[in-house]
Amino acid sequence: MKTVNNLTLVDDDEIFVFLTKKTIEATSLVNLIQVFGNGLDALNFLKKNIDNPDTLPEIIFLDLSMPIMDGWKFLEEYILISPKLGKKITIYICSSSISPDDIKKAKAISVVSDFIIKPITKEKLIETIKNL
Amino acid sequence: MKTNQMILWDQIVEFFSKLFGTESWPPRWYCGRWTDFHGWLYIVSDLMVWAAYMIIPFFLIVLITKRKGIPFPLVFYLFGAFILLCGLTHLLDASMFWWPAYRFAGLIKLLTGIVSWFTVYALFKLWPQIVGLKTGKEFNAEFEQRKIAEQKLNDYTRILEFKNTQLVDFCNIVSHNLRAPMVNIGMLVDYLEQSNDKAERKELLTKIKPVVNHLNEVFNELVESVQVRQDFEIKSDKIILTDCLNENLQGFQSQIKLYEAEIEINFNDAPIIYFPKKYIDSIFTNLISNSLKYKSPDRKPVIKIKTEKTSSGIVLSISDNGLGIDMNYAKDKLFKIRKTFHKHPDAKGFGLFMTKTQMEAMGGKIWAESAPDKGCTFFVEFINQNI
């Protein structure tokens, strides 16, 4: 089974992050789980490591509603830096929103692979990593 | 006379073959006894009538060709024709004094008679429509009524659109803000069910309480906002702004002292407003607490609070020199529930949402101007202040 070196969670909900980390750990498919509490922190990390493919994540699970910089704004900024990134990063939006508007809007963004409605189950996680 | 003895056909043939002939009659000057005065009275009067009758049809024709949508143009043409012909009979009457062409004059009179009767016929046929035609006054009255109805319709549409936006916002709040803690509770319970490890179960249990508290909090906020929207009974109070503000500032005394904050107040332009006391308290508390909460670490806070009369009401503004917000990013989110823009432990994203809800419930408005690291100005507009 393929494993992931770095999976990044961008989410401000501590309980969700705690539980999702647990779920990810249970799959034993991920070496490092990185967490950012808002879009800006995650973006700054990507910018800083733009030339360090080894430290960049393979997958980002991105929440939409966050303080400072929300998921939408993060995606806007990410599109600008993505051509310069030394690595292909797969972005999944991971939101508790079940609003069809949000889902439609998210799927229209080219760099978004899919929209996962919370919670992330173990099965969904394994499938996601398989599809990388 | 001799003509009486001719048969009718010969009379008609003679009439048309000598249509312009004048040999059978003397000019009118010599027929009977005319004084100059009497003759010229006749002539000048006939010419006056003729000239006027030439001009009237001209106006009628220009009117129906220039102005589109004149009703019954045929009647106008018929009127034009018969007035023109009437005029011609008068011209011929005047000319009889020198040129007694009685046959030609007779023919023109016949034509005039025929056209006049066509006009009568047309009027008779069109009469019900002409009588039913709306006058300009009636049109204007109807137009006014329609304008009022349209205005009402526009108002309703605006209110509906506004209500719809509120509904969409509410749906988003339910589908996201209420769902998020429920997802967490669900996940926690799932883990609890699966776990056999005592320590892990204990850890999971301690995490349930804060999530339930959070759910409760969001739920209460929602209920509060719905109550504000449903509270049509709430009455405006007469608010003396200086007193009301001082009362609210009491709660911030220790913070103001601690930050050495300066508060400038100017209610000279509008010292009194009419608004529910409960809401104005909440507006002052929310906006002042924001100004203090998001102060710049480099400057002592300066908060300017003032009112200004406008054409539509009174605008209260509260401006600070604090952290400010990037409005390009925040403009759609600033007043939404659970949207925060600064890393602050007390930032919850409820105050501005509630303030906006209260303002809108009273038909007022709230908006903001801001630049990062320059400060923030919030404007609150109260309407219906001319009591």
pLDDT one-digit tens code per residue, B46-77:
999 999 999 999 998 888 888 887 788 888 88
Please tell us whether the domain made up of B160-230 is placed in CATH 1.10.540: no
> Is B213 within 8 Å of chain A by CB?
no
Beta-strand runs (E) in B112-261: 237-240
Q: Do A73 and B329 touch (CB under 8 A)?
A: yes
The minimum CA-CA distance between A78 and chain B, rounded to whole Å, is 15
> Using CA atoms, how far apart are residues B13 and B59, in angstroms rounded to an integer?
39
Q: Do B341 and A95 touch (CB under 8 A)?
A: no
> Is B209 within 8 Å of chain A by CB?
no
Q: What is the pLDDT of residue B139?
A: 85
Residue B283 contacts residue B258 (beta carbons within 8 Å): no
Q: What is the pLDDT of residue B5?
A: 67
What fold does the segment set B237-383 form as a domain?
Answer: Heat Shock Protein 90 (3.30.565)
Contacts of B339 in chain A (CB under 8 A): 65, 67, 70
For strands B375-383 and B365-371, give the pairing. Answer: antiparallel
Residue ranges per structural domain of chain A: 19-98+108-120
Q: What is the pLDDT of residue A19?
A: 92
Show pLDDT as tens, one digit a residue, over chain A (132 residues): 788 999 999 999 999 999 999 999 988 999 999 999 999 999 999 999 998 888 999 999 999 988 889 899 999 999 999 999 888 899 999 998 888 888 899 999 999 999 999 999 889 999 988 888
| Class of residue B192 by CB neighbours under 10 A (exposed 0-12, middle 13-18, buried 19+) | middle
Which segments in chain B show pLDDT lower than 50?
1
Q: Which CATH code fits A19-98+108-120?
A: 3.40.50.2300
Q: Do B343 and A67 touch (CB under 8 A)?
A: yes
pLDDT one-digit tens code per residue, B300-352:
999 999 999 988 889 999 999 999 988 888 877 888 777 777 777 667 777 88
**Option in A19, A67, A97 nearest B191 (CB):** A19
For strands A112-117 and A90-95, give the pairing. Answer: parallel
List of residues 6+ apart from A19 with CB closer than 8 A: A119, B184, B187, B188, B191
Looking up tokens 């809800």, which residue turns up? Answer: B357
Residue ranges per structural domain of chain B: 2-132, 160-230, 237-383
Q: What is the pLDDT of residue B387?
A: 61
Contacts of A101 in chain B (CB under 8 A): 172
Q: Tell whether omega for the bond before A53 is within 30 degrees of 0, i.e. cis.
A: no
ipTM of the complex: 0.86
Q: What is the pLDDT of residue B246?
A: 92
Contacts of B343 in chain A (CB under 8 A): 67-68
List residues bridging with A60 in a β-sheet: A8, A91
Furthest C-alpha separation in chain B: 146
Q: What is the pLDDT of residue B278?
A: 87
Interface of chain A toward chain B, CB-CB under 8 angstroms:
13, 15-16, 18-19, 22, 65, 67-70, 73, 95-99, 101-102, 118-119
The minimum CA-CA distance between B180 and chain A, rounded to whole Å, is 5
Picking from B185, B187, B191, B204 by the largest number of A CB atoms within 10 A of its own CB, the best residue to mutate is: B187
